[in-house]
Chains A and B, each alone.
Chain A
Amino acid sequence: MTSIASPAAQHRVRRPIKLPSWPERLAWLVAIGGAAAGTIGVVWRFTSGHTAADYGSYVPWGLWVAAYIALVGASAGAFAFAALIFSARWRQHYRLAELALLVALGTFVAGMLSVWIDLGHPFRAWRLLTNSQAGSVMGLMTWFYLAYGVVLVIGLWETRRGPVPRFIERFAWLAVLFAVVFAGAEGSLFGVVGAQATWESGLTPVVFLIEGALFGVSLVAAAGALFKVLTSETAKLLGQALLGLLLALVVVEAAEIFTGLRAAVPAKRHVFEAILTGDYWWVFWVFHLALGVVVPAAILWHSRWRAPFVGAAGALVGTMALASKLNLVVPALAAHEDIEGLAEAFTGPGLVYDYMPSTMEWLVTVGAFALAGLLVLMGHTLLRRLEQSARPAPALTQEGV
């Protein structure tokens, strides 16, 4: 059997496109549905301003800020994971690293959308670059985001097809360092706010680092299982990383809660009491602890590092990230009056120490998460096609002719 096709002819041959698996098709369906819901939310937001939102003057940040820090943290985590693989030159995991870069891009874009829409003047966002204040952590973060976005796009572009360039492997350690600083700075955004007793802590950036790594790796595991790119080796690597990071999170959270509950300052104690036993206790106990920590840890523990289980655990941890960040943002603002009696001093919309995201806020957040999913799905499909077109087609044989 001899090959008779020329190299050019080999490229012209169209290979059949493999249909996605049913979980992948389901993911497309969910993502498209979520994006449609998000579109309604975005239109609602821009036609009604902020009047349809439940955040206001005493609880100025809510679901969108929580979604933003969860998504951007996950992005930094996924990016660091990819950079770590490239810098260690674990070539057998490069396919997973490429997927991690896609996850990083999807979550980053979705996180930016979430915070952009939260701005009182979204169309003045450009001022963050022209009037940036170096003394403000948020001002500093703008430049981090810009640099991060550029590095991310370069990384994806260079690894989109074929072998990973040497310079990526050589400088990936710098990217790991950058991701660590980036995630830590994200935590400092909250850590420097002295008015909020539970935010102002040296532990806050550390929690952000751990959570960022955890959420990033968990989403990479979920995406890896979905696209069936996890080998037994990569599934084990991800599963063990997830379990280790979950343990680290439990340790720092336990330290925070224990010291917070024992704090002599009521402002701090009230916040932790609200998280654990307040009206929204179920956010912590059900969504964060049970579904975001205990169940995934149990799945991983009994998974024998099989890819579908690692992926399922990752999906749970990744989606429950929002609960954890909601508990960071909202109770700190809502559980304690700045001055006792302020809530009753003058009443009006937005002048309350309570917060429950409105339908419009939920729709936008569903849309943001769906956008992240869609970008990963589209990116993966595109990469798969590029990969197929780059690979030489099987030679035609005389029989084939």
Chain B
Amino acid sequence: MTERASVENLLVLMQEDIRRALKNPDRRWGMVVDTRKCVGCHACTVSCIAENKLPPGVVYRPVVDQEIGTYPNVTRRFLPRPCLQCDEPPCVPVCPVGATYSRRDGIVAIDYDKCIGCRYCITACPYGARTFDAGRTYTEGTPEQQPYELLPAYEYGEERAREQDGDKSPVGNVRKCHFCLHRLEEGQLPACVTTCIGMANYFGDLNDPESLVSEMASKPNGVVLKEELGTKPKVTYLV
């Protein structure tokens, strides 16, 4: 842990990093997850669902609970899995309409108005990080659909009410984590980072050598998932 971080609040520090990064056109957003600090509380999963108004069957950041070893030498490891925002994303070249694309800041985004819902990108993602919005609601099968089901989400900075046939509705699209881009552009940290009770997430500009995230990403105990595939994820795990 850095000397700075140990004395200051990590969130405040990362907030400053973000504001600095927003002034840098060559910023490259990245995340580091310290698995040793993750307690598997799923607060990040829930906050993400609340932030992005995710319907049933759509999840951006599940926390995988892995059991390692055999009794009596058993331990548990928690592995939060957002979209890894790969530098070489396999989901991008397969998209037949160019709806999924890599942004200059490194985030792999989806143009909800272009996506035709073919789900080819889901098959191409080796991390299972993409989900399909089939149009389900939490009040499905109940006498009345509750108004909160139709509240708009603000993903990608656009208001998108959840209607079955609405032009702007994300129903029928493939959806994924975008590091809360709508928050980032307002200088706020992703929802999962702010709600982590163990402060296990580090977020910021990987191109900024002064940022906390770039410092953590360069730790020797940092690993990325399925490194052998060469997808170059921008989410590093400290183990």
Contacts and interface: CB of A to CB of B under 8 A. Distances in A.
B134 A121 contact: no
A50 interface: yes
Contacts of A158: none
Contacts of A43: none
A351 B56 CA distance: 9
Contacts of A196: 123
A124 B168 CA distance: 13
A162 interface: no
Contact of B96 (A49, A139, A340, A351): A139
Contacts of B225: 339
Given A60-B122, A342-B81, A53 B134 contact: yes
B125 A138 contact: no
Contacts of B63: 345-346
The DSSP consensus for interface residues of chain B is loop
B229 A348 contact: no
A50 B131 CA distance: 13
B58 A132 contact: no
Contacts of B164: 49
Contacts of A51: 134-136, 140
Contacts, number: 159
Given A49-B171, A120-B132, A349-B136, A333 B123 contact: yes
A55 B136 CA distance: 13
A194 B132 CA distance: 20
B222 interface: no
B57 A348 contact: yes
Interface residues of B, number: 50
Contacts of B99: 131
A241 to B, nearest CB: 33
Interface stretch (B11-19, B111-119, B188-196): B111-119
A136 B122 CA distance: 14
Given A57-B58, A340-B64, A350-B131, A120 B119 contact: yes
Contacts of A50: 132, 134-135, 172
Contacts of B5: none
A28 interface: no
B162 interface: no
A338 interface: yes
Contacts of A388: none
B178 interface: no
A348 B59 contact: yes
Nearest to B173: A120
Contacts of B120: 136, 138
B93 interface: yes
Nearest to A346: B62
Interface string B92-119: 0111111100000000000000111111
B159 interface: no
B94 A192 contact: yes
Interface of A: 49-51, 53, 55-58, 60-61, 118-121, 124-125, 127-128, 131-133, 135-139, 141-142, 192-196, 333, 337-342, 344-346, 348-351
7 contacts: A56-B134, A61-B123, A119-B118, A133-B97, A337-B128, A338-B125, A349-B57
Interface of B: 42, 45, 56-59, 62-66, 79, 81, 90, 93-99, 114-120, 122-128, 130-136, 140, 164, 171-174, 225, 229
Given A56-B134, A131-B97, A338-B125, 13 more contacts: A49-B164, A53-B134, A60-B123, A119-B172, A133-B95, A135-B93, A136-B96, A137-B94, A139-B95, A194-B90, A339-B81, A342-B62, A345-B62
